[in-house]
Amino acid sequence: MWKYEECIDAFMEEFSERKQRDNVSNSEALVRTFGEFYSPNMEDEMAKAIINVLYVELASKNSRIFIKAKENREKALKSINFEKIISQIEMKQITKSQIDELIIRRDNALELVNTIQVDLYPDARWYYEELINEVNQYLVTVENERPEFIVQDVLEHFDRACNNTTSEKMTIYMLLGEKLVKEHTSIPDSILKELVQFNRDDIGDQLLFEEINDLESRIKKVLELNG
């Protein structure tokens, strides 16, 4: 049986490790970690409460939350049985002050879950601005490489994202195009072909309307500058 701080630390450590080790988005790292720790039928009410609270706290750092996840977490937070958790004091899993803290965090999580923008696309993925920041940060680390090696390096590093959703792939290709145009280097045919064939309808609910507009505009600019 978990103790209060042990449960929090274990969840956060697993989340951080998954994100770093697997090179995945906050959203995917969170979904995987949650699936590892949580079950609706788990008997440890304290752990159940902590995991649901942590999910919302971490999800609030993303730009969106999948609508079903929002509904499920809100329902789970509202159904926490604090009387049952109080009984866990006797088992030395949690203290009275920690219960008070958990109540405050649960109440804050209920407010948070209703402030996060709803996501209609079900699959975990890099969100647009999150991926742009991540790729640009990675490009800094390979700044001194030759352009052809930069392309290979970036595509290998973000291979999972490129094969996950169209929005992730096109965002990465667009950023590589911007980088190569800035370096006055021609864009490889494999990337150029995808950019030329970009169709905003293929993105669907993966991006917001304004994000699709931004991606489309930047792709057009890359193609124009590439000649």
Q: Which pLDDT score is estimated for 144?
A: 76
DSSP-based three-state secondary structure for 91: coil
- Sorted by where each begins, the domain ranges of the chain are 4-119, 128-226
Q: Which pLDDT score is estimated for 40?
A: 86
Q: Which pLDDT score is estimated for 73?
A: 96
Quick check: 227 pLDDT over 90? no
Using one digit for the tens of pLDDT, what is the confidence trace for 164-206? Answer: 999 999 999 999 999 999 988 889 999 999 999 999 999 999 9
Q: What is the pTM of this model?
A: 0.90
Q: Which pLDDT score is estimated for 103?
A: 98
Taking a C-beta distance cutoff of 8 angstroms, is the pair 94, 26 a contact? no
Using one digit for the tens of pLDDT, what is the confidence trace for 25-84? Answer: 999 999 999 999 999 889 999 999 999 999 999 999 988 999 999 999 999 999 999 999
pLDDT band at residue 226 using 50, 70 and 90 as cut-offs: confident
